[in-house]
């Protein structure tokens, strides 16, 4: 397990770091300001006493006002009072609470994986972890994409997750619904290493639908967070989470993504850290692939099979590459058969005007029932009947409230 020293001084610093992380609305940039030129114990003491240099550093942070500084000063004073009464260092109770929950602590700059963060412009001061420690010698690939993925995106994410895992490459992502979670679930099911980075405390599962995935990553892989127990998910914490995903991976792969959103935050963070970015080509009519296709147009390398990613890692996996070629040849034969079947199916296009209108909408990407009602002008009853017909005939499918074209 990679942790800081368990000496008295090391544990005292860990406790003080957790205390700082537990301050309300504390984020990575604000924590870096507090720790500039001082350790965590000094930061708490200087915050409590209102040291001018500390307050000036905090005031320079975006979103920090006098009311928030006053709250932090009160919290620092209370922490110091609790420590004085107990006779233990500041934050010792928080350190004990995290240890009881099986959470280990990692100060990146002092860990076995320090080389990952050496040139990082915004390294985390402290990471909370469950499961296995980060092993620097294991190769790491980030796989990210949209939550609103299509059947095509799900298939690609599964293939990448399982293929990378089979090669012993760790799949790094944010455990979000959609592409992230699908790739990491496939990697786990293949028995490969997985590193999940989340945007809340490790006891605050978000989204709730991924509870089983969280538990499996914590048990069979590595689960990381920048936030202490009890910290709920908040919108601003996810871009910060994405920079850690970018830092941990050696290559970042975008499967499906719009032109904005979390995946693009991760792409920007990867570029800042000199991590190569690759993208999976998608249909130009699909909004879900617009961002990935734009990355390709801007010069990112394409991913057409797992071997492309392994090649980008400068890693030789001859057995896997041979298998990939075999699978590619088999898939090519399958596509020939599929094209013949599609030609027959094309002769039986839906006859109802509303059915054809819905298919036109789904061609551009997944839609909810409400979105289809807005775009077609049809009532919910009419849409339900039309979607039922399309589903029975194999033209449309529904997953989690999202309808998409099935062929």
Mean pLDDT of the chain: 87
- Same domain? For 166 and 254 the reply is yes
pLDDT at 158 over 60: yes
Q: How far apart are CA 153 and CA 256, in angstroms?
A: 6
- Same domain? For 42 and 119 the reply is no
Q: How far apart are CA 13 and CA 226, in angstroms?
A: 16
Kindly state whether residue 105 falls inside one of the protein's structural domains: no
Residue 404: beta bridge partners?
397
Cβ atoms of residues 247 and 116 within 8 Å:
yes
- Same domain? For 80 and 139 the reply is no
pLDDT at 314 over 80: yes
Query: Alpha helix locations (H) across 92-251?
Result: 92-100, 114-117, 151-166, 179-190, 211-220, 237-248
pLDDT at 271 over 90: yes
Total domains present in the chain: 3
Per-residue pLDDT, 407: 66
Per-residue pLDDT, 356: 84
- Same domain? For 294 and 390 the reply is no
- Same domain? For 95 and 158 the reply is no
Per-residue pLDDT, 346: 47
- Same domain? For 263 and 125 the reply is yes
pLDDT at 315 over 50: yes
Kindly state whether residue 329 falls inside one of the protein's structural domains: no
- Same domain? For 168 and 311 the reply is yes
Per-residue pLDDT, 3: 45
- Same domain? For 31 and 166 the reply is no
**Peptide bond between residue 312 and the one before it cis (omega within 30 degrees of 0):** no
Contact residues for 157 (Cβ-Cβ < 8 A; gap 6+): 143, 145, 149, 179, 182, 183, 186, 255
Query: Mean pLDDT, to the nearest integer, of 207-219?
Result: 94
Q: How far apart are CA 29 and CA 123, in angstroms?
A: 10
- Same domain? For 128 and 158 the reply is yes
Residue 131: give the domain boundaries. 114-315
**pLDDT tens column, 280-307:** 999 988 889 999 999 999 999 999 999 9
pLDDT at 199 over 50: yes
- Same domain? For 120 and 75 the reply is no
- Same domain? For 66 and 212 the reply is no
Last residue of a domain, one of 69, 100, 131: 100
**pLDDT tens column, 99-144:** 999 999 999 878 777 888 888 999 999 999 999 999 889 999 999 9
- Same domain? For 203 and 280 the reply is yes
Per-residue pLDDT, 139: 95
């Amino acid at each position: 397990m990679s942790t800081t020293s368990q000496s008295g001084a090391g544990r005292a610093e860990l406790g003080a770091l957790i205390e700082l992380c537990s301050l309300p609305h504390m984020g990575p940039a604000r924590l870096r300001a507090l720790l500039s030129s001082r350790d965590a114990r000094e930061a708490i003491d200087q915050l409590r006493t209102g040291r001018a240099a500390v307050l000036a550093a905090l005031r320079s942070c975006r979103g920090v006002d006098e009311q928030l500084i006053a709250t932090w000063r009160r919290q620092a004073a209370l922490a110091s009072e609790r420590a004085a009464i107990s006779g233990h260092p500041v934050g010792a109770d928080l350190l004990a609470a995290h240890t009881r929950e099986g959470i280990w602590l990692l100060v990146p700059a002092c860990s076995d994986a320090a080389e990952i963060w050496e040139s990082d412009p915004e390294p985390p001061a402290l990471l909370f972890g469950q499961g296995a420690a980060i092993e620097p010698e294991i190769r790491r690939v980030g796989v990210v994409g949209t939550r609103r993925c299509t059947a095509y995106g799900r298939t690609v994410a599964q293939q990448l997750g399982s293929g990378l895992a089979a090669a012993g490459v760790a799949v790094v992502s944010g455990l979000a619904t959609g592409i992230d979670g699908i790739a990491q679930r496939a990697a786990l099911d293949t028995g490969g290493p997985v590193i999940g980075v989340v945007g809340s405390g490790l006891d605050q599962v978000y989204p709730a639908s991924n509870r089983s995935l969280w538990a499996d990553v914590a048990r069979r892989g590595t689960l990381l967070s920048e936030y202490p127990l009890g910290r709920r998910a908040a919108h601003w914490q996810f871009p910060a989470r994405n920079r850690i995903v970018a830092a941990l991976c050696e290559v970042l792969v975008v499967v499906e993504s719009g032109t904005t959103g979390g995946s693009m935050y991760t792409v920007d963070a990867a570029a800042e850290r000199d991590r190569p970015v690759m993208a999976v080509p998608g249909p130009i009519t699909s909004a879900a692939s617009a961002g990935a296709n734009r990355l390709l147009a801007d010069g990112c390398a394409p991913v057409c099979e797992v071997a492309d990613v392994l090649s980008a890692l400068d890693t030789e996996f001859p057995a896997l590459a041979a298998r990939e070629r075999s699978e590619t040849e088999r898939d090519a034969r399958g596509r020939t058969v599929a094209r013949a079947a599609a030609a027959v199916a094309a002769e039986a296009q839906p006859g109802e005007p509303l059915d054809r209108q819905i298919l036109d909408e789904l061609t551009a990407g997944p839609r909810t029932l409400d979105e289809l009602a807005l775009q077609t002008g049809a009532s919910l009853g009419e849409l339900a009947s039309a979607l039922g017909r399309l589903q029975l005939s194999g033209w449309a499918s529904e997953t989690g409230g999202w309808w998409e074209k099935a062929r």
